[in-house]
Structure 1
Amino acid sequence: MRMGGKPKREKTTAADLPEELIRREILTRLPVRSLVRFKSVSKSWLSLLSEPQFIKQHLTHSATQIPNDCLVAKRNTKLIILSRHEERVALDSTHYFEVVGCVCGLVCLASFHMLSLWNPATHRSKEIFAPVCRADRKYDIGFGFDPVSDIYKLVILSDDLKSAMVYYSNSGDWIDISVPGNVCADFSGTRSTNRVTIVKDCPYWAFRRYPKDEHMNGTNCLIALKFDAVCDEFKLMPGFFCDEVGGFEFVDMNGCLTLIVREYDDKYPFSKLMLNLFSLDGEEGCCVWTKMYTIGPFNRGFEVVQGFSGGEIVFSDRGKFCFYDHKTDRIYKILNTSSATTADSRISCFRYTPSLAFIEGMESAFYSTIRTRRTRVQYSRVPQGLINALKH
């Protein structure tokens, strides 16, 4: 210290900071794109950024950030990533593919017998051959994650709902498991082809069936079959009984299984719809459906596809994506969304958060650059390697 002057401040460098502080407070806050570049800094950084514990810490922090609160959806031949502000095309292929689900930043795609686990943020993918022909029916396949053992799982249901095949990412094996006979024994009818919903890393299949009880004719029972990715068990959620409805969807809102039931508005019969929202509340084994609120009326022709973490309902209106904010009672358009050139089939949509998630055997998806517009010189990187894998 100099006499009669201010104490001289010493500069603090990154080497002087505790490693835990750098890890928890700095690196976990950085975007995936930056962390992918930092892997080439040194072997120690590569090891740190590849640790399962760090990947979990980064994903946990990213999931709380609004810019990372996104959805991944398949519309016609494109796979798009939606935020509250814009739509971005992540995959455009002339070859057939379907979106099975999205867990921890990994997107599962299906093309007949070929399944692909793809991380759009790190540009890596792994292809898996499904041993059964029904793998091309997306509503038979579920995608889940066991956070206890850090294992990703793919589940393919049999047509009679008596068995399933489960793929384990740690071993790469398909294992046959049975579905308990009492899970779906109380109901008869056909299974709904409604899309699979993923809530807290577990897939749910939707059903719309009529009870066997003759005194309940005309009453619908809306149910969801859950695959618990931790214990490899199938569980039937409480049924929701209602009169004839104009349609229904199960979605993930705030990490809770939410049922959206459509009913016709009495003032505008068969032209406008009201939406009734119910959440499945309580502990597993004693949970009940609780009504949240009713919104509307909405014009027919829109399709609810998912929900953001803030509770906004996302829907497709004639090919363009919008979201409804219950707090402000307003509908907001998502920018850069383009109208579908052909009639949309049922849109598959799942929650998505960019992550460093990695499975042993993942390789570079081989990205190529293409021109996206004729009027302007704009280019986009596409996963050409992934597209080539889905051809087979």
Structure 2
Amino acid sequence: MGSILSRDNSAVVPDLPDEIIRSEILTRLPVKSVVRFRCVCKSWNSLLSGDPDFIKSHLTLYSMNLNNGALICRCIPHAQSDDPLTSRFQLGGSVHGLVCVYNYDRDASSSISCIGLWNPAINHYKNIPIPPSARSTCIQSKHNFRLGIGFDPITNDYKVVYITMKPDHPFVADVYSCNAGSWAKTSAKSTFLSRGEPFPNPTIVHGRPYWYNDFAGKYYVMFFDVQEEVFRSLPGIGFINKLKKQKIMVNLRETLAFMYYNNFNHSFRSVDFYVFNERCGIWTKNYTVGPIIMPERMYFDLCNCFLSGDLLFGSRNQLKLVSFSSETHAVNNLDSHVYFFDSCRRWYLPFVGIYGYTESLVSVQGMNAIHVDKAGVDILIIEKSL
């Protein structure tokens, strides 16, 4: 073991053991720093580039800090192409830093023209074949299917679920397994009927995609059990019907939650958080924040919340993003915390698909390093203000 020497050649600080550096320091650093340290030496390059134990440890320890939780969303579209990363693509969710992207085409013989998994932090991408249900039936509307992504911790498998919706018929789902590298029909038929308005994009909590929808004025929440590959519903959702407020389903500290609010021009009287207790199987009101006074009397929309519970607001007319701390009630400007993949630095509200996102080193079989044309990719990553 070496040491750092003072001017008189006396040892003052011993070198840290390699194991401490690997397990206690490198595993807690941002991905950009880890990637940069690959060039230190060959052993570090081997460790940081593909060691599964290190990647898993980094994912666990880095994501434990809720302040590392960011948001990812789509903004202004550019010209169409057959590549989901340079086209008018959609987001289907994010798990462990992997982002599901897809593109739909109403004029084609399938509902979607391409699907992929992308890790923006390390720029690795995997193309996924079109699911059989999308190829066999011509779905003329983007509202007749939904895509989601999940993680099965038992088999360590990332899965993409493609849901086909036909009015008054049960949902039908194809599931793509990254381990198997193929699509398969779900073994159990869904008991949920496709009714009412198309449900919004999923909210991902603990690697499971959740959706909510209303039919005849009644709301329900369902999720896709990634391990068993079946749809399930959550009980006790009746309280939603009684609340005459706007709502957004969110991931609050890795717990499924709803934000309820009424906005009045430049201020919000309050935002109520209702969370689902999995152990008891009930919804409870967790806490309320507010009143929230926006700066400069601009009109803001409530967009989502960070994993930590801080709220994200966006101004339509001024193209401005701010966060509101649920603990200190401070309003923070996020202009310096937004990472644009669009070199034009343009975006608009409302965002199209906004999800929780935590950067990682995770890569799945078949992923390859790619060069992303930032001028053609229409997403932005919003980091939490500390």
TM-score, length basis structure 1? 0.72
Alpha-carbon displacement from aligned partner over 1:320-368 (angstroms, at most 9, x marks no partner): 3222222233433312579997864553111111111001111121245
Question: For residue 206 of structure 2, what is the aligned residue in structure 1?
Answer: 200
Are 1:348 and 2:346 matched, yes or no?
no
Instruction: Quote how far apart the aligned CAs of 1:232 are.
Output: 1.8
| Partner Cα separation in structure 2 for residue 179 and residue 244 of structure 1 | 34
Maintained 8 Å contact 1:260/1:278: yes
| Partner Cα separation in structure 2 for residue 246 and residue 180 of structure 1 | 34
Instruction: Quote how far apart the aligned CAs of 1:248 are.
Output: 1.8
Q: Which moved more, 1:341-350 or 1:242-251?
A: 341-350
What does 1:177-188 correspond to in 2, within 5 Å? 177=186, 180-182=189-191, 184=192
Are 1:140 and 2:142 matched, yes or no?
no
What does 1:300-339 correspond to in 2, within 5 Å? 302-318=300-316, 319-336=319-336
| Partner Cα separation in structure 1 for residue 144 and residue 14 of structure 2 | 54
Change (3 A) 1:30 1:334: closer
2:285 to 279, 283, 290: 290
| Partner Cα separation in structure 1 for residue 188 and residue 285 of structure 2 | 28
Maintained 8 Å contact 1:100/1:138: no
Question: For residue 29 of structure 1, what is the aligned residue in structure 2?
Answer: 28
| Partner Cα separation in structure 2 for residue 32 and residue 326 of structure 1 | 27
Alpha-carbon displacement from aligned partner over 1:292-346 (angstroms, at most 9, x marks no partner): 2264478997443322232112132314322222223343331257999786455
Q: Which moved more, 1:325-334 or 1:101-110?
A: 325-334
Alpha-carbon displacement from aligned partner over 1:101-130 (angstroms, at most 9, x marks no partner): 111011111112211211111111111122
- Runs (5+) with no aligned partner, structure 1: 1-7, 79-91, 211-219, 369-381, 388-392
1:169 to 173, 178, 198: 178
Change (3 A) 1:295 1:189: farther
| Partner Cα separation in structure 2 for residue 325 and residue 10 of structure 1 | 42
| Partner Cα separation in structure 2 for residue 36 and residue 301 of structure 1 | 40
1:223 to 200, 217, 220: 220
Change (3 A) 1:223 1:301: farther
* Aligned-residue CA RMSD (Å): 3.8
Change (3 A) 1:180 1:247: farther
Maintained 8 Å contact 1:205/1:226: yes
Question: For residue 56 of structure 1, what is the aligned residue in structure 2?
Answer: 56
Question: For residue 73 of structure 1, what is the aligned residue in structure 2?
Answer: 73
2:97 to 95, 102, 105: 105
Maintained 8 Å contact 2:66/2:253: no
| Partner Cα separation in structure 1 for residue 372 and residue 263 of structure 2 | 47
Which residue identity does 1:307 align to in structure 2? C
Maintained 8 Å contact 2:47/2:54: no
| Partner Cα separation in structure 1 for residue 144 and residue 335 of structure 2 | 29
Which residue identity does 2:196 align to in structure 1? T
Alpha-carbon displacement from aligned partner over 1:179-238 (angstroms, at most 9, x marks no partner): 5454x36xx84144322111111101111223xxxxxxxxx4332111122222211012
Question: For residue 252 of structure 1, what is the aligned residue in structure 2?
Answer: 251
Maintained 8 Å contact 1:139/1:193: no
1:277 to 267, 273, 277: 273
Larger Rg over CA atoms: 1
SS in 1 for 2:186: strand
| Percent identity of paired positions between Structure 1 and Structure 2 | 26
Maintained 8 Å contact 1:274/1:298: no
Maintained 8 Å contact 1:323/1:332: yes
Maintained 8 Å contact 2:190/2:231: no
Are 1:362 and 2:370 matched, yes or no?
no
Q: Which moved more, 1:224-233 or 1:99-108?
A: 224-233
Maintained 8 Å contact 1:302/1:317: yes
Are 1:232 and 2:229 matched, yes or no?
yes
Question: For residue 127 of structure 2, what is the aligned residue in structure 1?
Answer: 127
| Partner Cα separation in structure 1 for residue 188 and residue 212 of structure 2 | 16
Question: For residue 110 of structure 2, what is the aligned residue in structure 1?
Answer: none
Alpha-carbon displacement from aligned partner over 1:143-200 (angstroms, at most 9, x marks no partner): 1111222211111112134320100001111111155454x36xx8414432211111
2:196 to 190, 193, 199: 190
| Partner Cα separation in structure 1 for residue 145 and residue 260 of structure 2 | 20
| Partner Cα separation in structure 1 for residue 58 and residue 32 of structure 2 | 13
Instruction: Quote how far apart the aligned CAs of 1:383 are.
Output: 8.4
SS in 2 for 1:361: coil
Change (3 A) 1:366 1:225: same
Question: For residue 377 of structure 1, what is the aligned residue in structure 2?
Answer: none
SS in 1 for 2:354: strand
Change (3 A) 1:206 1:59: same
Which residue identity does 2:283 align to in structure 1? V
Question: For residue 384 of structure 2, what is the aligned residue in structure 1?
Answer: none
Alpha-carbon displacement from aligned partner over 1:268-295 (angstroms, at most 9, x marks no partner): 9xx9775332111241x73333342264
Which residue identity does 2:322 align to in structure 1? C
